[in-house]
């Protein structure tokens, strides 16, 4: 981890290798934070559901190892209400819903597997960003924010670090000197936000002046809070809530909750802890879940 701006600059070559290693861990795995937080930035959408902005992903904050953190969560409605919780699998612990989904999936019964698909984990990433261009809210330009994003955008980060073709050079997009700005292009497709048109541009320093770079780096937020155990409910608390949602009073049996999620019903395994490669970003879905839960 960088303990000073000078060490950050000195280690910028090795940061790409470390990023590639961490991305490989996610892509090849081994065995609910407030949305009212003003530290977060999000693109404003027009009436058609489209949005555009230019942002720069930033390096690890002072004293931290990685430029992103990832959190697994669940959001679905059962007979007893809504289950909107962060998953303990995020921090490598056993999670009651992950265990329940494993039971459903391993039963071999297609109806049970469909239930597991509908209440599966969703994956969200958190990073620091610098807002380069935000015409809808120009007051955000030149400032550092936290940014919440999903697998689609992370795949683009991964592709830059691990290019597919020989004529392409790997890029650590989080690097202040050798990274690249990101054109965030959002379209509404089949009722959901789509990021396929988003792209990184030619690598270049965020600023030519190291003083401005250091000022930006010192403005970053800690990401460790998102994986701090104190921000997760205990296994027993989650189990109690899950029993209520499933309509059980003693144990989480095979009651079948319904789900409003209409996205990504691809078959996926459930083992209680292994990150799911097929996960997609469902920020708008979780917003919807939260509003319904508070209604």
- Domains belonging to the chain, first-starting first, are 5-294 (3.90.198.10)
pLDDT at position 276 over 60: no
Res. 266: pLDDT tops 70 = no
pLDDT (average), residues 101-116: 95
Task: State yes or no: pLDDT of 293 exceeds 50.
Answer: no
Give the residue from 42, 67, 36 showing the smallest Cα distance to 55. 42
Q: Write down the pLDDT at residue 267.
A: 33
Quick check: 54 pLDDT over 60?
Answer: yes
Global pTM value: 0.74
CA pair distance 72, 121, nearest whole angstrom = 6
Q: What is the mean pLDDT of residues 31-60?
A: 87
Q: How confident is the model at residue 253 (pLDDT cuts 50, 70, 90)?
A: very low
Model confidence band, residue 154 (pLDDT cutoffs 50, 70, 90): very high
The per-residue pLDDT for 133 is 98
Q: Are the C-beta atoms of 105 and 270 separated by less than 8 Å? A: yes
Q: What are the structure tokens assigned to 174, written together?
A: 């989080």
Among 261, 251, 241, which Cα is nearest to 116's? Answer: 261
For the cut 90, the answer to whether the pLDDT of residue 149 exceeds it is yes
d(CA 174, CA 172): 5
pLDDT of 291 higher than 50: no
pLDDT of residue 271: 38
Q: Report the share of the chain in percent with pLDDT over 90.
A: 70
Q: CA distances (Å), 284 to each of 92, 150, 260, 290, in order?
A: 26, 11, 12, 10
Could you tell me which residue, 34 or 248, shows the higher pLDDT? 248
CB atoms within 10 A of CB 267: 10
For the ranges 2-16, 19-33, 127-141, 171-185, the lowest mean pLDDT is seen at 19-33
Structure-model confidence comparison of residues 295 and 121, the more confident one: 121
| Section 208-230 average pLDDT | 97
Residue 282 pLDDT > 80, yes or no?
no
Look up residue 258 and give its DSSP letter. B
Average pLDDT over residues 106-115: 95
Contact 160, 180 (CB under 8 A): yes
Average pLDDT score over the chain? 83
**CB contact at 8 A, 98 and 39:** no
First and final C-alpha spacing in the chain: 43
Among the listed ranges 19-23, 176-180, 256-260, 281-285, which one has the minimum average pLDDT value?
Answer: 256-260
Task: Answer for the pair 24, 159: CB distance below 8 angstroms, yes or no.
Answer: no
Looking at per-residue pLDDT, the higher value among 33 and 74 belongs to 74
For the chain, give the number of residues: 295
Q: Above 60 in pLDDT, residue 268?
A: no
- pLDDT at 285 (0 to 100): 44
User: Which pLDDT score, from 0 to 100, does residue 23 have?
Assistant: 65
Distance, in Å, from the CA atom of 226 to the CA atom of 232, rounded to the nearest integer, reads 9
Say whether pLDDT at 263 is over 90. no
């Amino acid at each position: 981890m960088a303990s000073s701006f000078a060490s950050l600059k000195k280690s910028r070559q090795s940061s790409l290798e470390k990023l590639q290693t961490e991305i490989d861990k996610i892509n090849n795995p081994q065995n609910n934070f407030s949305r009212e937080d003003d530290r977060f930035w999000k693109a404003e959408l027009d009436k058609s559901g489209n949005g555009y902005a230019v942002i720069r992903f930033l390096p690890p904050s002072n004293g931290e190892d990685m430029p992103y953190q990832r959190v697994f969560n669940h959001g679905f409605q059962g007979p007893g209400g809504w289950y909107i919780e962060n998953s303990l699998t995020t921090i490598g612990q056993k999670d009651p819903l992950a265990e329940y989904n494993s039971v459903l999936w391993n039963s071999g019964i297609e109806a049970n597997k469909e239930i597991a698909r509908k209440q599966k984990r969703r994956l969200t990433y958190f990073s620091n960003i610098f807002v380069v261009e935000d015409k809808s809210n120009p007051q955000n330009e030149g400032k550092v924010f936290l940014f919440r994003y999903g697998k689609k955008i992370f795949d683009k980060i991964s592709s830059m670090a691990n290019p597919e073709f020989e004529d392409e050079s790997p890029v650590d997009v989080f690097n202040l000197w050798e990274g690249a700005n990101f054109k965030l292009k959002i379209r509404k497709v089949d009722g959901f936000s789509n990021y396929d048109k988003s792209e990184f541009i030619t690598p270049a320093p965020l600023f030519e002046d190291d003083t401005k770079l250091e000022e930006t780096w010192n403005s970053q937020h800690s990401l460790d809070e998102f994986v701090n155990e104190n921000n997760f409910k205990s296994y027993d608390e989650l189990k109690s809530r899950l029993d209520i949602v499933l309509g059980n009073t003693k144990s989480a049996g095979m009651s079948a909750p319904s789900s409003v999620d209409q996205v990504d019903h691809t078959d996926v395994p459930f083992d209680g802890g292994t990150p799911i490669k097929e996960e997609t970003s469902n920020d708008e879905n979780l917003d919807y879940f939260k509003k319904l839960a508070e209604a």
